[in-house]
A and B are shown apart, each in its own frame.
Chain A
Amino acid sequence: MDISPARIWREKPFSYRLEVLECPKCKRRYVGNVEECPKCGAKLERKRLPRKGRVIAWTKVVQVPEFAEDFAPLYIGLIELEDGSRVVAKLVDVVEPSDGMEVEAVLRRVRVDGQTGLIEYALCFRPIL
């Protein structure tokens, strides 16, 4: 696996800060870097999702992709944030997650490109302290 400098750079708003694009007119949301709402044409606005939420469903992933072997087992959660929006993200610092568990976003490593490549950081979720 190669981690591309350009990709992790352009994905920062979401991966570092949970920033999404929201259409002021039709309220549709996008993750990425587009200028106009593809649906209604209004200029999209950056909006930061809440850092806290609760686990709706989770899975302990044992058969992990090669790049995630150092992190195995992985806990992947479907999380409902305080404003009702949902994300799928990694759960960290968990021993046994539970449905309804309250979680908050924390910055962690999610991929490491060998011994010489880039390190990819992203917000993951862990039980509220």
Chain B
Amino acid sequence: MVGISGWGAYVPMYRVKGEDIAEHWGADPTTCHSLGVPEKSVAGPEEDSVTMAWEASQNAIARAQIDPSKIGMVFIGSESKPYAVKPSATILADALGIAPHTMAVDAEFACRAGSEGLRHALSMVDHGTVEAALIIGSDTAQGAPGDVLEYTAASGAAAFVVSKENVVAKLIDATTYVSDTPDFWRRDGSPYPRHGEGFTGEPAYFHHLVSAIKELMERNNITPNDVTYFVPHQPNARFPLKLAKMLKFPKEKVLPGLTTAKIGNTYNASAFMGMTRVLDIAKPGDIILMAPFGSGAGADAYLFEVTDRIEEVKELAPPTDAYLDRKIYIDYGMYLRFRNKIKKLVR
């Protein structure tokens, strides 16, 4: 039986309010509320996707109760890598005590790179290639100053340990659906992404997720009634609810994992973050449908069944809510400073 044996989240403690952002750009102050994201998490000046990944991983490893040296693959998905060339995965493997006998991968697929890693990990562990794998989604998400993305592009990380032992969420099945869809992109060397605005919706987010999820549900012959929690990718707090409606999932099955409503879209950690919160509250026997999405575009749909072990390990690391609730508000000026958006002396 292969599945998730440990989960962990990390969210920086700083928050900036959408209304504050709007005020600085002369925008409608209700914009953030219509997106369902009143405020977003901001990484501090000494944080980046690696440091956030480190803490989420520590939490996942603690819950998996695994000797880090047993982990045979470290896979991090991020679109905010500290280095364009130099792997984040080796920093993490070394700092977490996993190195040296491990694979180490940095992947890019917009917000879905971490999920690609989860698919690889489940397959490789199931096949016996590695005993366990550490999968991380981590981003200090970029949004160009003044762009609508700035209201939602947030910072956070989520990590899973995949193994056959100590499983808390057994994999039932997974599907993937990809196509060349130019909904959101960032060219090499550009500091901020661009996007097709409305085009990110129907042909991208909704089409790919619906396709992957429908295939999964048909293949396993299930209906929304069979699912306890539905955790899709959440670029804002509106899209996931609309998606749920299209697929006939009641709102109540989406809200527990809708962490974007509290901290914004953490890109590669988006659906993963929701999943960590759902695992914090899940009961043995619960069925979870997690569906990450990445622009460019692709979606995955996973069906997990929660095992009895979950109750034994929840307390081994801070729950996701501990991070969601820990917050200090900073103003827009501090936000610009923390995220290195102020023109400074170049050295």
**Contact, chains A and B (beta carbon distance below 8 A):** yes
- Collect the chain A residues with CB atoms within 8 Å of residue B143's CB: none
Known: A16-B95, A121-B51, A121-B91. A109 touches B46 (CB 8 A): yes
Give every chain B residue within 8 A of A86 (Cβ-Cβ). none
Closest beta carbon of chain B to A12's beta carbon, Å:
6
On chain A, the residues within 8 Å of B83 by CB distance are 119
A residues near B50, Cβ cutoff 8 Å: 107, 121
Bound-complex Cα distance A7 to B51 (A): 20
Contacts of A121 in B (CB 8 A): 50-51, 91, 95
**B326 at the A/B interface (Cβ < 8 Å)?**
yes
Contact of A107 with B55 in the complex, beta carbons under 8 Å: yes
Cross-chain contact of B347 among A12, A90, A109, A114 (Cβ < 8 A): A114
Q: How far is the CA of A95 from the CA of B50 in the complex (A)?
A: 23
Interface string of A110-129 (1 = CB under 8 A from B): 10001100010100100001
Residues in A whose Cβ lies below 8 Å from that of B46? 71, 90, 92, 108-110, 124
Nearest CB of chain A from residue B326's CB, rounded to whole Å = 7
For A83, list chain B residues within 8 Å (CB): none
Task: Kindly list chain B residues whose C-beta atoms are within 8 Å of the C-beta of A71.
Answer: 45-46
* B82 contacts A by Cβ under 8 Å: yes
Number of A-B contacts (CB under 8 A): 50
Q: Give CA–CA (A2, B82) in the complex, Å.
A: 17
* Alpha-carbon distance A93/B14, docked complex (angstroms): 9
Distance A121 CA – B55 CA, assembled complex (angstroms): 13
Complex-state Cα separation, A114 to B91, whole angstroms: 20
On whether the beta carbons of B322 and A119 are closer than 8 Å, the reply is: no
Chain B residue nearest to A128 in the complex (CB): B318
Residue numbers in A under 8 Å from B91 (CB-CB): 121
Contacts of A124 in B (CB 8 A): 46
Number of interface residues of A (CB under 8 A): 20
Residue in contact with B318 in the complex, picked from A70, A95, A129, CB distance below 8 Å: A129
Q: Chain A contacts of B51 at CB under 8 A? A: 106-109, 121
- A52 proximal to B (CB < 8 A): no
In the complex, what distance in Å separates the CA atom of A95 from the CA atom of B330?
12
Q: Do B326 and A17 touch across chains, with their CB atoms under 8 A apart?
A: no
Question: Which residues of A sit under 8 angstroms from B347, Cβ to Cβ?
Answer: 114-115
Residue of A92, A95, A129 near B322 (CB, 8 A) is A129
Besides A70-B340, A107-B54, A109-B45, 10 new A-B residue pairs in contact (Cβ under 8 A), listed by A number: A12-B94, A71-B46, A93-B13, A93-B44, A107-B95, A108-B47, A114-B347, A115-B347, A121-B51, A124-B46
Give chain B's interface residues, CB within 8 Å of chain A: 13, 44-48, 50-51, 54-55, 82-83, 91, 94-95, 97, 318, 322-323, 326, 328, 337, 340, 346-347
Provide 22 A-B residue pairs closer than 8 Å at the C-beta atoms, listed in order of the A residue: A12-B95, A16-B94, A16-B95, A17-B95, A17-B97, A70-B45, A71-B45, A71-B46, A92-B46, A93-B13, A95-B328, A106-B51, A106-B54, A106-B55, A107-B51, A107-B55, A107-B95, A108-B46, A108-B47, A109-B47, A114-B347, A121-B51
